[in-house]
Structure 1
Amino acid sequence: MSGQENTPAAAYDLVVVGSGAAGMAAALTAKIGGLDVAIVEKDSHFGGSTAVSGGAIWIPNNPLMRAAGMEEDAEAAFTYLQGEVGNLMDTDLVRRFLKAGPEMVSFFQDNTALQFEHRAVSPDYHPDRPGASMGGRVLDAQTFDGRRLGKEFDRLKPPIGDFTLFGGMMLNRFDIGHFMNMTRKPGSALHALRLLLRHGRDRLRHSRGTRLTLGQAVAGRLALSVLERDIPIFTGQALTALLTDGAGRVTGIQTEAGGQITARCGVVLATGGFPANAEMRAELMPHVAKGAQHFSMSPRPATGGAIGAARAIGAHFIDTNRNAGFWAPVSLIPEGNGATRPFPHLFLDRAKPGVIAVSPKGERFVNEAVSYHDFVSGMTRAGLKEAWLICDHRALRRYGLGPVRPAPAPYRHHLRSGYLKKAATPAELARRINLPPETLNRTIQAFNADAAEGIDRQYGKGSTAYQTYLGDPEHCPNPCLNPLETGPFYAVRIFPGDIGTSMGLATDADARVLREDRSVIDGLYACGNDMNSIMAGTYPGAGITLGPALTFGYLAGRHAAGEG
């Protein structure tokens, strides 16, 4: 939309602020329920943080896993979350999520282009806890052909460029495995060739690849359904205030452009939390308050404006979660103009054999194969403002390190830029990155002795099903362990970061926003990262942001349409 087409009308039944998974889920559900709905988006593109995410969706006991014969006890997921969240759990919200999540999946499968597939093997992040699952709970959106969006394809927020190849070619989890094995397995080489040919055709007509996976597939499929149902998405429309009547009921929004939009049935806030708000980060993230640099992978428009507007009319903001964000270690890729861009180290490198993390003292401080959230928690517990990922030449060329891709991809440009540090020996590498050489030598020697036996006695790397799932299944006896012994050696500096914030607005089980006294603010809903996470700042498994985002977006839409 452009020009007059991007100007909202004066009134709708429901106004949804934010165009990520939560917002589009709410809009679609309300529209299907009979309401006249509009979406307003601060950014110049739609899709929000969903479009740049990994796209995993955590829904226990979902219909796809059941159809595949993967039945689970209805109480198992509750038990698992109870062990994760502890006394911070809001039991009513968790119960509603576990009941409504499978309903949401069926609803979208039956009524929209959002079609799912389940991961038969995808362990929860703490698989040794009671109630944990080894697979089935995590859903992905089926790969999506972006050409179905027509001219609107260019309005979909593009993926993070460093997660693509050759000018915007996306890979899913299976594609990555084939590309890593393309020089060793003919079947993988053929798969990679097919994708390259498809991408080559795409680039003749489009600015990037149109085969969408991960979060792009979630956002693209939802957007197609939104547009097919004539729900307008107005971009460049920042929320500045919520409108209320004399009784305190929310009746619409005020936008930065000066326009007022009336919402007869209410307003849904789904703008992605506050990860780009430096003041809130300093207030709510202890390591930032202590001077640590912190880098978010969330879109820059997510500054917490919707949360601030809600608080201005009495909404309660919960700041007691165990963590203010969903953590991820981040490295900084130099750009030609002296700036840098962040890269998240989620699951491709840290768990692999021949990779360790060390502090500025040259010592290991955490199990490298734990989840990205737990890894940064290990950094902050140790009081670290930065750390280093270190690997040998074998690991670098076999698995890659951050944006440094495995062989046969070139990597010397990362050396020239200064992103990747290289030295012939561990001691020389330590001097290059200002670590104590003798300490780093001792650290690597101790790790190597254990790795040769397949047991990490210090931190237990490769000791759970989740960790070995991320390792190299072809490497024995431990998929996560191998000595660092094949020079030269390499290092990348990492910092604390996040993939979103967890603290948000208090809501009831219908996603209605609450005051501090637990009374409902009529006409106001929150979902996604504007809603306080039901995980309370813990990170139980892949997809624990998008799963609740879609579910409570669905519940908000149902309630607004009178179906709650």
Structure 2
Amino acid sequence: MTAALTGLMLGLKVKILEKSEVIGGTTSLSAGSVWIPNSMHSTPGADSDKKTRTYLRKTVGNRLKPELCDAFLKHGPAMIRFLSDTDVKFRAYPKHPDYFADAEGATLSGRALEPLPFNGASLGADFHRLRDPLPEFTILGGRMVDRDDIAKLLNAAQNLSSFAQSSQLLARYVLDRLRFHRGTRLVMGNALVGRLYSSLRKQGVRVDTGTNVTGLTKENNKVIGVEIKNNRQTGLALAKHGVILASGGFSRHPELRRSLLPEPLAQFSPLPETITGDGVSIGIDAGGFIGNGHAENCFWTPVSVRKRKDGSMTVFPHFVLDRGKPGLIAVDRNGRRFVSEATDYHSFGKAMYANKTRGTIPCYFVCDYNFIQKYGLGMVRPRASNLSNLVSEGYVVKGETITALAKELRIDSHGLLAEVKTQNEYAQSGVDTEFGNGRNSYERNLGDHRHRPNPCPGPIKKPPFFAIKVYPGDLGASIGLVTDKNAQVIKSGNGPISGLYACGSDMDSMMAGVYPGPGITIGPAMTFGYIAAKHIAGNIS
């Protein structure tokens, strides 16, 4: 959508073909963070291209592609400013450190941007065309909340200001449900998709949903259109100047998934079911090729799963709300920890695979009564209002003692007892001598700043005790079609395929399987979509 919006603003005619029946893919279900260093939202003088390049070299290492890095650093800030004339508005998180916070060139804030909340009601009858967020990320059956909202709601009984703001949020939701199927105050990734779609609507563009792209059309070795199929027609959609592939990557393509992901093959993914590698497949058929040599071929997150009453499966990503908080440990089948719980989600997933012979797939998140009441646990909400239902369903396992909990989980009770004892010592000293939980500014930011002496390690003492089973889940592709700095797909021989571009997860990631900060998938996706549109329009300087 960024590419289409850019093209429109540069005078091109565009057509958007969407396989799903709704608008917005993985971004709709995500936090919507966008990693763009040194943008108009950064504090002047606090960041620079040199500083960012140093950070990426220290973290991505020799896998970093200089040509793509230079294009990203040059055009990312320009893309943010360019879109600021539309409904696509951002602000910098007040504090959101880079994930490798101790690396040279890292920052505490400024690079990670979030979309401003968006009023979905402004879309009118088209509001229903947006992809809904995960129900488990909403309250009251459809009200989206972000971290700030959660804090206000939990503090409403103790703080008059929080009570007033919470009352306003809930009153608006009641009014929304008189007109719409869910709340219209959109936050996070849903807000970003809503803002992009709103901007496209104002330019007169209607997204063609339910439309499969089955192949490319060439003339004189140039891509001039796509073959399409939907419930209305099978035919061609011609593109005079170029085709941009942005179908979400290879993730659910059966053969590519089996060949590119490690064993045991990840069972669960929070990605939409429609992300089946169509763009990558037709790019390969056109003469393109996928990259290699990545640190990981996909990006990981720990997930827990639950079957809903309607039979559908919830795949819940554990990004920030529970893992790093004080009083939770992640253990293997021996009851032993294997990673810092507050590390970034990609590194956590990597650790599950690196330690798989110890029984870390699945692993188990373990906490006590005080923790689950204060922070929740996965799909258990803070204050544990839905805890009893999730225990009865089997999503949460409960034990009156640590030994009883281990027995229910079928893991080693002696190991778990020893680990809890050690964790309680770390909670008192504030120093995790094994895995360094809370060792840097990123991990401490994920914890609870009110907890002392360290925001991350906390006690596990008050019964009953609780646990959930956690698996590695892929949240996006790193491997994709190799492109040049203009996002043009490269031929397996050499040189670009005329008229064919790729961005997002269809494009081979410049991060090469490393996850250095929040929004390192969406930020480059939007930037190279912007670059592709400008290149098509002939305006790249």
- TM-score past 0.5 threshold: yes
The one-letter code sitting in structure 2 at the alignment partner of 1:261 is A
Identity among equivalent pairs (%)? 40
Q: Over residues 274-314 of structure 1, what are the superposed CA-to-partner deviations in whole Å (9 max), with x where a residue is unaligned?
A: 22223322211113xxx344311111111001110110111
Structure 1 residue 400, shift from structure 2 partner: 0.6
Task: Give the superposition deviation at 1:263.
Answer: 0.6
Q: What CA distance in whole angstroms lies between the structure 1 residues aligned with 2:406 and 2:158?
A: 33
Q: How does 1:135-284 map to 2 (within 5 A)?
A: 135-245=109-219, 247-257=220-230, 258-284=234-260
Q: Is the counterpart of residue 64 in structure 1 residue 41 in structure 2?
A: yes
> Per-residue deviation at 1:447?
1.5
Shift of 1:34: 1.2
* Residues 302 and 317 in structure 2, CA contact (< 8 A), matched pair in contact too: yes
Query: Is structure 2 residue 297 aligned with structure 1 residue 324?
Result: yes
* TM-score of the superposed pair, with normalisation by structure 2: 0.96
Following TM superposition, by how much is the alpha carbon of 1:422 offset from its aligned partner in structure 2, in angstroms? 0.5
Three-state SS of the structure 2 residue aligned to 1:254 is strand
3-state SS of the aligned residue for 2:241? strand
Residue 83 of structure 2 corresponds to residue 108 of structure 1: yes
Shift of 1:337: 5.7
- Work out which of the residue numbers 30, 37, 58 in structure 2 matches 1:53: 30
Tell me how far apart the structure 1 counterparts of residues 134 and 426 of structure 2 sit (CA, whole Å).
Answer: 37
> Displaced runs of 4+ in structure 1, greater than 4 A?
none
Aligned to 2:415: 439
Matches within 5 A, 1:36-51: 36-51=13-28
The question of whether the paired residues in 2 share the 8 Å contact of 1:117 and 1:140 is answered with: yes
Q: How does 1:303-382 map to 2 (within 5 A)?
A: 303-336=276-309, 340-382=313-355
SS at match of 1:63: coil
Deviations along 1:44-84, one digit per CA (max 9) or x if unpaired, are: 01112211111000000011124xx4532321111111111
Deviation of 1:136 (Å): 0.7
Equivalent position of 1:458 in the other structure: 434
The letter for the 2-side match of 1:351 is: G
Query: Following the alignment from structure 1 to structure 2, what is the Cα–Cα distance between the partners of residues 388 and 205?
Result: 42
Give matches, 1:289-308, under 5 Å. Answer: 291-308=264-281
Q: Flag the 1:339–1:108 CA change in 2: closer, same or farther, 3 A.
A: closer
Q: What is the RMSD of the two structures over their aligned residues, measured on CA atoms?
A: 1.3
In the alignment, residue 169 of structure 2 is paired with which amino acid?
Answer: L
Corresponding position of 2:505? 529
Indicate conservation of the 8 Å contact 1:352/1:472, yes or no.
yes
Quickly say closer, same or farther: Cα 1:143–1:447, change in 2 above 3 A.
same
Separation in structure 2 between the aligned mates of residue 292 and residue 489 of structure 1, nearest angstrom: 31
Q: CA–CA distance in 2 between the matches of 1:155 and 1:535?
A: 32
The answer to whether the 8 A contact 1:70-1:136 is kept is no
- 414 and 132 in structure 1: CA distance in 2 versus 1, 3 angstrom threshold: same
CA distance in 2, matches of 1:486, 1:391: 9
Letter in 2 for 1:139: L
* Partner deviation per Cα, 1:536-559 (whole Å, 9 max, x = no partner): 011001011111111111111111
Tell whether the 8 Å contact from 1:355 to 1:391 is kept in structure 2 after alignment: yes
Q: CA deviation at 1:408?
A: 6.0
**1:9 corresponds to:** none
| 2:44 is the alignment partner of 1:83 | no
Partner of residue 552, structure 1: 528
Distance 2:458 2:26 in 1: 36
What CA distance in whole angstroms lies between the structure 2 residues aligned with 1:512 and 1:476? 51
Q: Secondary structure at the match of 1:367?
A: coil
How far did 1:463 drift?
A: 0.8
Q: Which residue of 2 aligns with 1:17?
A: none
CA contact (8 A) 2:372 2:384 kept: no
Q: In 2, distance between residues paired with 1:54 and 1:518?
A: 37
Distance 2:517 2:273 in 1: 25
Tell me, what secondary structure is at the counterpart of 1:401?
Answer: coil
Match for residue 97 of structure 1 among 72, 75, 78: 72
What secondary structure is seen at the aligned counterpart in 2 of 1:135?
Answer: coil
Cα distance, 1:446 vs structure 2? 1.3
Q: Distance in 2 between matches of 1:306 and 1:498?
A: 18
| Structure 1 contact 180–398 (Cα < 8 Å) conserved | no
CA deviation digits over 1:291-350, x for unaligned, max 9? 344311111111001110110111011132111111000101132366532111111000
TM-score, length-normalised on structure 1?
Answer: 0.93
Tell me what 1:35 maps to: 12
Q: Residue 409 and residue 123 in structure 1: after superposition, are their counterparts in 2 closer, same or farther (change >3 A)? A: same
How many residues align structurally?
Answer: 534
d(CA) in 2 for partners of 1:183 and 1:439? 40
Query: How far apart are the structure 2 equivalents of 1:447 and 1:462?
Result: 13
| Aligned residues of 1:386 and 1:496 also touching (Cα < 8 A) | yes
**Cα pair 2:304 2:468 within 8 Å, conserved:** yes
The unaligned stretches of length 5 or more in structure 1 are: 1-23
Query: Counterpart of 1:303 in structure 2: which amino acid?
Result: T
1:470-481 alignment runs, 5 A limit: 470-481=446-457
Residues 251 and 275 of structure 2 are in contact (CA less than 8 Å); yes or no, is this contact kept in structure 1?
Answer: yes
Matches of 2:478 and 2:410, distance apart in 1: 35
CA contact under 8 A between 1:180 and 1:399: conserved in structure 2?
A: no
For residue 38 of structure 1, give the secondary structure of its aligned residue in structure 2. Answer: coil
Q: Distance in 2 between matches of 1:142 and 1:341?
A: 27
Give the stretch that moved more between structures: 417-426 or 190-199.
Answer: 190-199
1:412 aligns with 2:373: no
1:256-285 deviation digits (Å, cap 9, x = unpaired): 342111111010001111222233222111
- After alignment, is 212-221 or 400-409 more displaced? 400-409
Distance 1:92 1:523, change over 3 A: same
Consecutive unaligned residues of structure 2, counting only runs of 5 or more, are none
Whether the 8 Å CA contact 2:376–2:384 is kept in 1: the answer is no
Counterpart of 1:508, as a letter, is D
Q: Classify 1:190/1:278 alpha carbon distance in 2 versus 1 (closer, same or farther; 3 Å).
A: farther
Measure how far apart 1:522 and its partner are: 0.4
Decide whether the 8 Å contact of 1:239 with 1:254 is kept in 2: yes
**Are the counterparts in 2 of residues 30 and 557 from structure 1 also a CA contact under 8 Å?**
yes
3-state SS in 2 of match to 1:40: coil
